[in-house]
Amino acid sequence: MAITFDDLPYSIAGDPEAQNTLDAARDANASILAALDHRRAPATGFVVERRVRALGQMGEILLAPWNQGHLELGNHSFGHRDSNDLSLDEFRREVTDGEATIDPMVRKAGRSLRFFRFPYNHVGDTADRREAFETVLRERGYRIAASTIDTSDYLFDAAHEHALTVGDEDMRQRIETAYLDYSRTEIAYYADLNRQVLGCEPPAVMLLHLNRINASVMDRLLEIFQASGYRFASLDEAQAHPAYASSPRFVTKFGPMWGYRWARDQGVKVDGSKEQEPPAWIVSYGKTPTP
Ligand SMILES: [Zn+2]
């Protein structure tokens, strides 16, 4: 299975409500990188150029370790706009402007940018638009980064951020536990879904964000995968499996995981309502206004 992080260098850098982002961004990156190193897990980090700029000089500095060894930088667009709202020209600009910092970095390291992940996993809301987007990406040497496991980590992170803001340590730990429990459930759910749809379990691709809840639990989260028998691979190795030979054809304006898309392509009926939702208390706590 492959681990991927979206919204590098830091998921809330540049957001109006984000405070003390420089320290938080540095600490979150350091913790996540240490856990990846400790578990010998390769990973791909998908960069939003707007968030790089929001951190000033620190932005590129934080990306440097992601451009070495088993780690790899990918493009997650310039401004994280929803491709459903973009013309083809606007989409092309989001891709090329998204390369501003990372393309020179990877070239200097003798590498190239190989993967693009669509914001919200919105890969094109009609067959024509999806094909046009794919052509733009192919011409620039990209493959689409798949996503097969999602734990709604951003919802847990919003709750975690609130607990940090109000200094409620008991609550923060309860949120972490709930997040790890839910991750366990989702990892098993998507493994079953993919097996049911494809008759085999291709290497999984875990979608995470570069945020503080992941920084806090990353070693424990990776341990869950190892305890479940998974072996860590790079995204490139994972997507070498024939299941990823082409992107799913099913067209939607939403951003479901690949298992649901494969199900539609294969004509396999699956009941998405069986997927457990994140706990309601997490969602509501994460929406509590900051005092
Ligand atoms: Zn994103």
Ligand 1 center to 253 CA (angstroms)? 16
The total number of structural domains in the chain stands at 1
Ligand 1 center to 150 CA (angstroms)? 12
Compute CA 207 distance to the chain's CA centroid, rounded to the nearest angstrom.
4
Amino acid residing at 286: G
User: For the chain, what is the largest distance between any 2 Cα atoms, rounded to a whole number of angstroms?
Assistant: 51
Peptide bond into 9 cis (omega under 30): yes
* Per-residue pLDDT at 270: 93
Residue 102 lies in a domain: yes
Ligand 1 center to 127 CA (angstroms)? 22
Domain of residue 25 covers: 2-286
Ligand 1 center to 195 CA (angstroms)? 27
Ligand 1 center to 188 CA (angstroms)? 23
Residue 69 lies in a domain: yes
Tell me which residue of 220, 214, 190 sits closest to 203, measured CA to CA. 190
* Per-residue pLDDT at 17: 79
Ligand 1 center to 179 CA (angstroms)? 19
Residue 291 lies in a domain: no
Residue 115 lies in a domain: yes
CATH of the domain at 128: 3.20.20.370
Residue 267 lies in a domain: yes
Residue 46 lies in a domain: yes
Neighbours of ion ligand 1 (CB under 5 A): 6-7, 119
Ligand 1 center to 232 CA (angstroms)? 22
| pLDDT tens sequence for the chain (291 residues) | 999 999 999 999 988 877 779 999 999 999 999 999 999 999 999 999 999 999 999 999 999 999 999 999 999 999 999 999 999 999 999 999 999 999 999 999 999 999 999 999 999 999 999 999 999 999 999 999 999 999 999 999 999 999 999 999 999 999 999 999 999 999 999 999 999 999 999 999 999 999 999 999 999 999 999 999 999 999 999 999 999 998 899 999 999 999 999 999 999 999 989 999 999 999 999 999 877
Ligand 1 center to 6 CA (angstroms)? 5
Residue 44 lies in a domain: yes
Partner residues linked to 233 by β-bridges: 2
Rounded to whole angstroms, what are the CA distances from 252 to 17, 88, 129, 184, 204? 31, 17, 11, 27, 21
